[in-house]
Amino acid sequence: MLGGRKILVTGGGSGIGAATVAVIRDRGAQAYIIDAASSPDANDQDFSQADVTDFSAVERAVAEAASRMSGIDGLVNVAGVTGGSPLESTDMAQWDRVFAVNLTGTLNVARAALPFLRQAEDASIVNVSSGVALNPFPGLGAYAASKRAVLSLTQTWAMELAPRIRVNVVCPGAVDTPMIKNASRLNGDLYALKRIARPEEVATAIAFLLGTDASYVTGIILPVDGGRTYY
């Protein structure tokens, strides 16, 4: 159940993040978006433009979210970038940027939101990793490594923040979003269900982990990948 909850979503302007915002709002929760891009809806007042790698900007955006919603009891860290190259041609600038967004960005938002989450009765953090963290592809070392680190970070936080704050992570497979439009190798042949996911299919899994129906679930790694991890 999500009715009445107050949820902050990073990367909520497009893709999985936008689908998550739509699902949780449809289920009666408030949602506040932080995104590096400008809002696709100029009239959406529950939106802050901020780069998750900039902690000062994140702090301001999180404070605004808490003010707008009168608190925060859920956080979804979706903001992320892809990228990587084979070992011998590693681009260090790209490596640093991928880790800054995918790992440090997740840390920054959680740090800024933690004082508000601690005030909630049943707070929940859901981090978004990737199926590539479980079954990597060649040439995506930076992305796979950063997303694998999110798994360890999630389970560490689950131990540190229990019992008041639950922390879980979802690992989507290929999803029909702009991030993979040009990734021809990410097709349905890799999946037991023979297709890639719709963003809302990942969003509904995130919504479950945010809500009270998952009140006894923390520290889990949930693949939402059409069976790729076993297929």
Confidence of residue 184 (pLDDT cuts 50, 70, 90): very low
- Do residues 100 and 58 lie in contact, with contact meaning Cβ atoms separated by under 8 Å? no
Domains and CATH numbers, the chain: 6-224 (3.40.50.720)
pLDDT at 194: 85
pLDDT digits (tens, 9 = 90+) for 5-40: 999 999 999 999 999 999 999 999 999 999 999 887
Which carries the bigger pLDDT value, residue 54 or residue 191?
A: 54
Q: What is the mean pLDDT of the chain?
A: 93
Which of the residues are catalytic? 143
Which of 61, 56, 54 is closest to 12 using CA atoms?
61
Q: Quick check: 231 pLDDT over 80?
A: no
Q: Quick check: 192 pLDDT over 70?
A: yes
Structure tokens at 97: 């940027």
What's the whole-model pTM score? 0.94
CA distance 184 to 200: 21
- Do residues 19 and 202 lie in contact, with contact meaning Cβ atoms separated by under 8 Å? yes
pLDDT digits (tens, 9 = 90+) for 162-183: 999 999 999 999 898 876 655 5
CA distance 12 to 115: 22
Residues 200-204 have a mean pLDDT of 98
SS3 of residue 155 by DSSP: helix
CA distance 223 to 203: 12
